[in-house]
Amino acid sequence: MKKRIAILPGDGIGPEVCDAATKVLTEISRLYKHEFEFTYGDLGGVAIDSSGTPLPEETLSICKQSDAVLLGAVGGPKWDTLPGDKRPEKGLLGLRKELDLFANLRPVTIYDALAEASPLKDEIIQGVDLVIVRELTGGLYFGEPRERRGVGEEEVAVDTLVYSRKEIERIVRKGFEFAEVRGGALTSVDKANVLESSRLWREVVEEVAKEFPEISYSHMLVDNAAMQLIRNPKQFDVIVTENMFGDILSDEASMITGSLGMLPSASLSQDGPGLFEPIHGSAPDIAGKGIANPLATLSSVVMMLTYAFQMTDEAQALSEAINDVLENGYRTADLTQDEKTALSTVEMTEKVIDALTKKVVIS
Ligand code: NAD
Ligand code: IPM
Ligand code: MN
């Protein structure tokens, strides 16, 4: 059956890693005889430049008519001085809200071959397998009022951290459901010693836990969680947390794998199309050089195949192909000290495609 995929390359390295993804998807369609139809849309800085707004109506409608959305990244210095609601990032936030993508899954998977790429010791990272379930459409990112008022010494800036019981309930339930599927445990991360929203969060966790009597769960304060992720990441299985904490903890957790260029994500709603994107940004410092690591985006394609299309064989083959290229010693610049052997984005993508083709043709 035909699958419609909206492709939003965005800014900086976004187009480079999206190219990698469409090449791999095209190879999957050839190998498994699927039809993937790509429709491109502008989001972020490119959209500001082409139509004066970070989330054009046309882009939103392309996404709504699709079975899944693939996003590169948005943002960059060119647009950094624009007012908050005109920035590229506002386009991404608007898209998450419009598609009601409240559940953001950020798995942290360790590849044995990458042990030495991580700044953490081998014995700390071996066997880590955790997923951060981040609330994505509430909290500080969306709360009102959000404003600047007053002038000079009197000037103040306001952001609002607000969560409704309903918003907390649905993400916490997702957290428990994931823990159930993985046969694991849940850690709910909050700041209940200070924040009222976190105290409500804890109450709701206690209530939802009653629906999952067989799942063990605990609460952890976010500052401690940030430390524990480095001290002993193996203690975690599923972490459920609010929007801002999840943003920060997932960048931190990426270093367990060795690079921010490795971590994928899936953002899901109750029933509409999901959005799949690397957790990293537009990396202006390396944009245009052709050296970005495409693996976070290719792993996001694995998540798309799994969650949007239920193509489990295809997802497994791609995930194994990524593992194979790493086992064979192929590295992009972010994963090695040895500049001479580092592969470009295009070369790394070709290695993954070769490994995938071999795997599927032989099996
Ligand atoms: P960043 O994630 O873009 O980059 C942080 C560092 O990681 C940089 O040194 C970069 O070179 C490196 N890096 C990131 N992805 C990489 C990859 N695939 N391969 C190799 N190295 C990689 O974060 P930043 O520099 O703080 O933000 C830059 C811009 O990106 C900002 O405008 C920010 O708002 C935006 N951003 C967008 C998203 C998104 O679209 N989802 C996410 C994060 C940041
Ligand atoms: C991410 C990014 C975004 C976020 C920004 C670009 C709005 O950092 O996807 O992690 O904070 O959610
Ligand atoms: Mn982030």
Q: Which domains does the chain have, with CATH numbers?
A: 1-105+261-363 (3.40.718.10), 119-257 (3.40.718.10)
pLDDT tens track for 225-248: 999 999 999 999 999 999 999 999
Burial code of 254-265, b = ≥16 C-beta within 10 A, e = fewer?
A: bbbbbbbbbbbb
Give the pLDDT of residue 339. 87
Over residues 308-324, the pLDDT tens digits come to 999 999 999 999 999 99
Which of 282, 301, 347 best tests ligand 1's pocket when mutated (most atoms within 8 Å of CB)?
A: 282
- Say whether 77 counts as a known binding-site residue: yes
pLDDT at 201: 99
* Angle, helices 14-32/312-327, rounded to nearest 10 degrees: 120
- The one-digit pLDDT tens for each residue of the chain (363 residues) are 799 999 999 999 999 999 999 999 999 999 999 999 999 999 999 999 999 999 999 999 999 999 999 999 999 999 999 999 999 999 999 999 999 999 999 999 999 999 889 999 999 999 999 999 999 999 999 999 999 999 999 999 999 999 999 999 999 999 999 999 998 999 999 999 999 999 999 999 999 999 999 999 999 999 999 999 999 999 999 999 999 999 999 999 999 999 999 999 999 999 999 999 999 999 999 999 999 999 999 999 999 999 999 999 999 999 999 999 999 999 999 999 998 999 999 999 999 999 999 998 877
Residues 6+ apart with CB under 8 A from 89: 44, 54, 74, 75
Q: Which ligand is nearest to the CA of 290?
A: 1
Is residue 277 within 6 Å of ligand 1 at its C-beta? yes
CB 278 within 8 A of CB 263: yes
Exposure string (b/e) for 98-115, b if CB count within 10 Å is 16 or more?
ebebbbbbbbbbbbebbe
Contacts 24+ apart (CB under 8 A), 108-112: 108/132, 108/233, 108/250, 108/253, 108/254, 108/256, 108/257, 108/263, 109/257, 109/299, 110/256, 110/257, 111/257, 111/262, 111/322, 111/323, 111/326, 111/327, 112/327
Report the relative pairing of strands 103-109 and 129-135 from DSSP bridges.
Answer: antiparallel
Question: What was the pLDDT predicted at 363?
Answer: 72
- Ligand minimally distant from the alpha carbon of residue 243: 2
Task: Tell me, in angstroms, the distance from the centre of ligand 1 to residue 12's CA.
Answer: 9
- The whole-number pLDDT of residue 361 equals 86
Which single residue is written with the structure tokens 């397998």?
A: 129
Half-sphere exposure in the Cβ direction for 313 (13 Å, CA) = 9
Flag whether 292 is marked binding.
Answer: yes
Ligand 2 site, residue 93, Cβ cutoff 6 A: yes
**What confidence score (pLDDT) does residue 362 get?**
79
Of 103, 90, 94, 248, whose CA–CA distance to 167 is shortest? 103
For ligand 2, say whether the CB of 247 is within 6 Å of any of its atoms. Answer: yes
Among the bound ligands, the one closest to the CA of 140: 2
Helices 295-303/345-362 angle, 10° precision: 40
SS3 of the chain: helix, strand, coil, percent, to 5: 50, 20, 30
Taking Cα atoms as reference points, which of 140, 115, 142 lies closest to residue 127? Answer: 115
Give 147 Cα–ligand 2 centroid separation in angstroms. 20
Cα–Cα distances (Å) from 173 to 212, 238, 340, in that order, read: 9, 12, 48
Q: What are φ and ψ of residue 9, in 5° steps? A: -65, -35
Helices (H), the chain: 14-32, 45-51, 57-64, 88-98, 122-125, 165-182, 196-209, 222-231, 243-257, 295-303, 312-327, 345-362
* Ligand 3 ion: residues within 5 Å (CB): 247
Contact 287, 80 (CB under 8 A): no
The residues that are catalytic are 141, 191, 223, 247, 251
| Distance of alpha carbon 293 from alpha carbon 343, whole angstroms | 9
**The pLDDT of residue 32:** 97
